[in-house]
Chains A and B, each alone.
Chain A
């Protein structure tokens, strides 16, 4: 069974600054995907970024990028130029390939962007 750990329940950052959210995972699988989902107060789950484990290059999506350290089983999310609209709960999630697309979620990090 997989586990996903987010050790930072809450974080805050000043608008326009950079913040990094941490995530570690434990698995014996060799092929898998990692995700960051955002959940704003509206409760809607929104995919922020994904990483295939077989790719060495870190994924980037505009202001969002990841630092994927496969050997350390670490998957952190960096948000650059933070905006007020980035205020949300952020969940790290793991999916093993061929697992019927079952996602295992971490407990989340509540990020608040301060004006």
Chain B
């Protein structure tokens, strides 16, 4: 199993450009999440999804959009990139009913907006 796979791992974006961070998992998890991690800080929740077709905002959703058309995929879209979105982005997933609460994380995507 590949687990949680994120692409790209690194990307440089110009102010005002748009891009999509891809996330896919092969564990049949129904819960998926996007977090961002700023330097010296913990992870903050951007968006999450409890199943295909269902998404909801987290703590810091402004400037981002998500969709969940399949169980496996949960892409994160930045529409008009701003320097404040320079961060490391983590996708994570877990299985409802697996009440350990353990999230499985991808390796992160480092995004720089210049």
Residues of B in contact, count (CB < 8 Å): 24
Chain A: interface size category:
20 to 34
Q: Which residues of A are found within 8 Å of B101, using beta-carbon distances?
A: 33, 35, 50, 95, 101, 103
CB <8 Å contact, A107 and B40:
yes
Q: Which residues of B are found within 8 Å of A50, using beta-carbon distances?
A: 100-102
CB <8 Å contact, A101 and B103:
yes
Known interface pairs A47-B102, A100-B56. Does A9 touch B94 (Cβ–Cβ under 8 Å)? no
Residue of B nearest to A32 (CB): B101
Q: Is the interface of B mostly helix, strand, loop or mixed?
A: strand
Of the listed residues A42, A91, A93, A103, the one surrounded by the most CB atoms of chain B closer than 10 A to its CB is: A103
Q: Which of B17-25, B43-51, B67-75, B77-85 contacts A (4 or more CB under 8 A)?
A: B43-51
CB <8 Å contact, A100 and B43:
no
CB <8 Å contact, B56 and A9:
no
CB <8 Å contact, B43 and A102:
no
Find residues 61-115 in chain A having any chain B CB closer than 8 Å to their own CB.
Answer: 91, 93, 95, 100-108
Seen from chain B, the residues whose Cβ lies within 8 Å of a Cβ on chain A are: 31, 33, 40-45, 48, 50, 56, 58, 88, 90, 92, 94, 96, 100-103, 105, 107-108
Apart from A9-B40, A47-B102, 11 more pairs, CB < 8 Å = A33-B101, A45-B43, A45-B90, A50-B100, A91-B42, A91-B43, A100-B50, A101-B101, A102-B48, A102-B58, A107-B42
